[in-house]
Amino acid sequence: MCGIIGYNGFREANKVLIDCLKRLEYRGYDSAGIGIIGKKLQIFKEVGEISKLEKEIPVFDGDIGIGHTRWATHGAVTKENAHPQLSSNKKIAVIHNGIIDNFNFLKEDLEKKGVKFSSQTDSEVIAQLINENYKGNLRDAVISTIKQLKGSYAIVVVCKEEPDILVGARKESPLVIGVGDNENFLASDISALLKYTNRVKYLDDGEICVLSKTSIEVFNENKKEITKKEDIIDWELKDAEKSGFPHFMLKEIFEQPDAINRVLLGRVSEIDRTIKLHEKVEELLNYDIQSIHIIACGTSYYSGLVGKYLIEQLTNIPVFVELASEYRYFGTKNEKSLIIGVTQSGETADTLAALREAKNAGSRTLVITNVMGSTATRISDAYILTQSGPEIGVAATKTFTSQILILLLIAFKLAALKNKLGADELSKYIFRLKELPRKVREVLDHSDKILDIALQLKNVKSVFFIGRGINYPLSLEGALKLKEISYIHAEGFAAGELKHGPFALLTQITPVITIVTRDNTYDKMIANIGEVKARGPEVIAIADENDTEIEKHADFVIRFPGSSSPLSCIPIIVILQLLAYHVANLRGCSIDKPRNLAKSVTVE
Ligand code: F6R
């Protein structure tokens, strides 16, 4: 939520800021703005997407500036509420990501002192407070201010009277320093910086940084200087560009064979017939684990549900999958339980809060994430990187597949540790794992068949997705993908649940997508299809290529390669992603930036 960028260097700041904001737009696209310090402090803001800002922006001179793309929390989508936010005397400009919980109290206090506010945002309070605290040293004013703030923030501040520096600070919202030669950056996301540098320093909560063109100083709240190590990011600029695809989402769907290989590389060995995870991760899995809690939100929560089926089937260890926003307040915490946080961004506020709660209660915490250096990697006991490369499309695709694979590797590892999986059986699984990239490629090669089905769906009002076992969370994810990018109402159900209520919503014009695998649920699924058909709707079945029966029951069939197995979930999910993509594309929707959504939900 909200993308932020600060630049201090030798280039034209407004060009760098617009360029970086375009790469941050997936964080929010309600409004955007930049502030440049040249001879004076110049601010320009627009409601709408960055392209609009870029079109209208005047030529600003200056090589230091800040830029922001907003996902509104406090205050409507207006120019006044866009960032940068200014102090009333226009001396201080601030960009902010996060939520200031005590802003009403601080605002009232400032108003009593005669400060006039011009926006409804909580962020303006930060600018006004820094101005109040300013006694000739911006760093000190920022330190005094953050001590008064309750809530979460990543801020970058410029001051007319110290036009050579940027000051940044963070608490519970992401902010990373990009290190360049005679230029330095601050950004909410690494992918914004890749064109300029791959050298980064991670700020921790409660730290304040001061950036000139040639120096980076980091302090704690007691003004003590802290030495930060520099890390190198192995993502490349091309990973964060569309590379000829019409949308990031399609590019990321097509990157999945490669993403799968990256998960398996170095972790799965066909020769040794072993699964090898990082030492710290294996240490965590080696404890006497009596239960596992998987904590996540949205699509990552659904990968957790898939993980539950896989881990329980292979190990018998009970797995509880919890929505992070609920778990943090209501979840049972138990130190014998291993907590697995699943978060693509590593910055989802609810998941981070839940992980902190669990850790405070004495649980061991493991995180599955795609972003090296993200907050999740730094607050957990160990982490596993999905290594999918940057995911820019708001709808998660390749990271979902990779999360499931990592959970599968954890299941194999635990099963092997508990002697529930013999070497021969593991070998068979390893062989099938290695086949997955090819199977996914086959699905991608037949994307046109999925487009044919999408044509049938493009004008419908509502779609049901049903499945049993592992196919139930896949149904939930299929429905989420469709609704979030096509705006068609879609619901996923456990197939056995239809009779317990949802059937009331089913009409002749509600297509039902059924995921049918040839396992112990097959006959029941066929019976469920019969019940649906008896009420008139069309049934689209996703079934394996060897299923010769399914055509007798379903109106349309989409095949996935190979025969059914727990690993079929990967090609199936790719089918569901392509289906959602094609439907949304046919409807002319804004696929990479669906309305009201943002890639990384850093507020609760
Ligand atoms: C949907 C989607 C979201 C995220 C959710 C959690 O396509 O991407 O539902 O899965 O916001 O995000 P992370 O995984 O970053 O914690």
- Token look-up 């399914």 returns 550
pLDDT averaged over every residue in the chain: 94
Instruction: Assign a CATH topology to domain 245-442.
Output: Rossmann fold (3.40.50)
Mean pLDDT across the stretch 509-533?
96
* CATH code 3.40.50.10490 region(s) in the chain: 245-442, 446-599
Strand order in the sheet with 231-232: 41-47, 31-37, 64-70, 3-8, 184-187, 176-179, 199-202, 231-232
Q: Is the CB of 396 under 6 A from ligand 1?
A: yes
By alpha-carbon position, which residue is closest to atom 5 of ligand 1? 298
By alpha-carbon position, which residue is closest to atom 10 of ligand 1? 299
Mean pLDDT across the stretch 268-289?
91
Index of the ligand 1 atom closest to the CA of residue 296 = 16
Residue 1 has pLDDT above 80, yes or no: no
Q: Is the CB of 325 under 6 A from ligand 1?
A: no
Q: Is the CB of 514 under 6 A from ligand 1?
A: no
* CATH code 3.60.20.10 region(s) in the chain: 3-239
How close is the Cα of 599 to the center of ligand 1, in Å? 7
What is the CATH code for 446-599?
Answer: 3.40.50.10490
Specify the pLDDT at position 539. 98
The pLDDT > 70 percentage for the chain reads: 100
Residue 603 has pLDDT above 80, yes or no: no
Q: Is the CB of 395 under 6 A from ligand 1?
A: yes
98 contacts 154 by C-beta, under 8 angstroms: yes
| SS3 assignment, position 318 | coil
CA distance 367 to 389: 17
Residue 472 has pLDDT above 90, yes or no: yes
| SS3 assignment, position 118 | coil
How close is the Cα of 170 to the center of ligand 1, in Å? 22
Q: Is the CB of 81 under 6 A from ligand 1?
A: no
CA distance 152 to 552: 56
How close is the Cα of 342 to the center of ligand 1, in Å? 9
Q: Is the domain 3-239 a CATH 3.60.20.10 member?
A: yes
**% helix, strand, coil for the chain, step of 5:** 40, 25, 35
252 contacts 581 by C-beta, under 8 angstroms: no
209 is an active site residue: no
Residue 75 has pLDDT above 90, yes or no: no
262 contacts 388 by C-beta, under 8 angstroms: yes
How close is the Cα of 177 to the center of ligand 1, in Å? 24
- Indicate which residue of 2, 159, 209, 297 is catalytic: 2
- Indicate which residue of 107, 171, 593, 599 is catalytic: 599
Index of the ligand 1 atom closest to the CA of residue 345 = 15
pTM for this one?
0.90
Task: State which of 1, 300, 577 you would mutate to test the pocket of ligand 1, scoring each by most atoms of that ligand within 8 A of its C-beta.
Answer: 300
140-185 per-position pLDDT tens digit: 999 999 999 999 999 999 999 999 999 999 998 999 999 999 999 9
Q: Is the CB of 485 under 6 A from ligand 1?
A: no
Assign 3-class secondary structure to 379-447. HCCEEEECCCCCCCCCCCCHHHHHHHHHHHHHHHHHHHHCCCCCHHHHHHHHHHHHHHHHHHHHHHHCH
574-594 per-position pLDDT tens digit: 999 999 999 999 999 999 999
Index of the ligand 1 atom closest to the CA of residue 298 = 9
How close is the Cα of 284 to the center of ligand 1, in Å? 25
How close is the Cα of 485 to the center of ligand 1, in Å? 13
Mean pLDDT across the stretch 280-306?
96
- Token look-up 């149904």 returns 475
Q: Which of 177, 240, 246, 245 is nearest to 207 (CA)?
A: 177
Assign 3-class secondary structure to 267-289. CEECCCCEECCCHHHHHHHHCCC
pLDDT bucket at 439, cuts 50 / 70 / 90: very high
Q: Is the CB of 298 under 6 A from ligand 1?
A: yes
